[in-house]
Structure 1
Amino acid sequence: MTQRVDLATVMDRLAIDEVVTGYAVAVDDGDWTAYRALFAAGGRADYRSAGGVEGPAGEVAQWLEQTMKLFPVRQHLIVNRLVRLPDVDGSPGDAAEVRADFLNPMRLAGEEFDAAVTAPNFVAAGRYSFALARTPYAGWRLTRVTVQEKWRHLSS
């Protein structure tokens, strides 16, 4: 590879990482406009393994907006990111795959809700599969997000 191709690959990896991080921040902050903006046209999300829905990103955002009201405090950690950016004839391609683990501690809402109190808490963990495409005007965007929840725990 040339230095130019190497630099382009590094820049793509940084941009892809920014989208994945933006995903976590949007969900934690309840910024459903930002969540929708992370997806390419036709992008889909699948939360069925966590008891959720699958469908177009806009519809899933509506579901998340309602569901996340149960958890007013969220801290979404996405770690161990494995980025696959295929080489296409010596240059980075326009599609990427990311596999990453997540740990998602949340504070359950209730009439007795007090941010200083640490229980009851709900923690879910598992793995994400992200598919991304380079778009002409918005850069890298999600085409698919799949949640593979592996475990959850409720503490009081």
Structure 2
Amino acid sequence: MTQRVELATVMDRLAVDGLVTEYAMAVDDGDWEAYRKLFTPDGRADYRSAGGIEGDAGKVASWLEESMRLFAMRQHLIVNRRVRFGVLEQDTGDTAQVHADYVNPMRLAGDVNGSSAPDFVCGGRYVFGLLRTYDGWRLREVLVREKWRRLPDGHPAPVIN
């Protein structure tokens, strides 16, 4: 591999990593317009394993905007990112797939008898499908594979769908 190819690969990895970070920050900050802009025009997301919906990015963003009102605070921690570049139309590096683990602590909205609402924590793995576009890397697909969730004892899990 030439130095030029190696540098391009490093730059792509940084751009892909930045896109995953922008995704987490858009969800955590409730910036649904920024969330929508991260996707290709045909981009889709699937949150069904976490009790959510599957659909195009616009539909999912609207659902997230409504359902995330249950939480006063969100903070995605997306780690262990495994990036693989693929081939589209005989040109290397046009696609990428990222498998990344997440832990997502959230503070439930509301105040119960003057005390803070309990924390809701979930974790699992994201699968991001990305496509290189003229505007840079964009999400073509987001799949959430929730593996676990936890609330303090005695508190029912919130219904988010």
Do these two structures clear the TM 0.5 threshold for a shared fold by scoring above it?
Answer: yes
**Distance across 1 between alignment mates of 2:45 and 2:79:** 19
**Distance across 1 between alignment mates of 2:41 and 2:58:** 10
**Distance across 2 between alignment mates of 1:82 and 1:60:** 25
The TM-score, its normalising length taken from structure 1, stands at 0.91
Structure 1, unaligned runs of 5 or more = none
How far the C-alpha of 1:72 sits from its partner, in A, is 1.1
How far the C-alpha of 1:86 sits from its partner, in A, is 3.2
Query: Matched residue pairs, number?
Result: 151
Root-mean-square deviation (CA, aligned residues, Å) is 1.8
Aligned twin of 2:76? 76
Structure 2, unaligned runs of 5 or more = 154-161
Q: How does 1:1-156 map to 2 (within 5 A)?
A: 1-86=1-86, 92-112=92-112, 117=116, 119-136=117-134, 138-155=135-152
Q: Indicate conservation of the 8 Å contact 1:38/1:142, yes or no.
A: yes
Secondary structure of the residue aligned to 1:155 is coil
How far the C-alpha of 1:154 sits from its partner, in A, is 0.6
- Equivalent pairs: percent with the same residue? 65
Q: Indicate conservation of the 8 Å contact 1:47/1:54, yes or no.
A: yes
The TM-score, its normalising length taken from structure 2, stands at 0.88
Q: Which has the higher strand share?
A: 2
Letter in 1 for 2:85: L
Change (3 A) 1:10 1:87: farther
- Which digits, 9 at most, give the CA deviation of each residue in 1:50-72, with x for residues without a partner? 00000000000000000000001
Secondary structure of the residue aligned to 2:110 is coil
**Distance across 2 between alignment mates of 1:113 and 1:81:** 41
Runs of 4+ in 1 over 3 A off after TM superposition: 111-114
Q: Indicate conservation of the 8 Å contact 1:43/1:57, yes or no.
A: yes
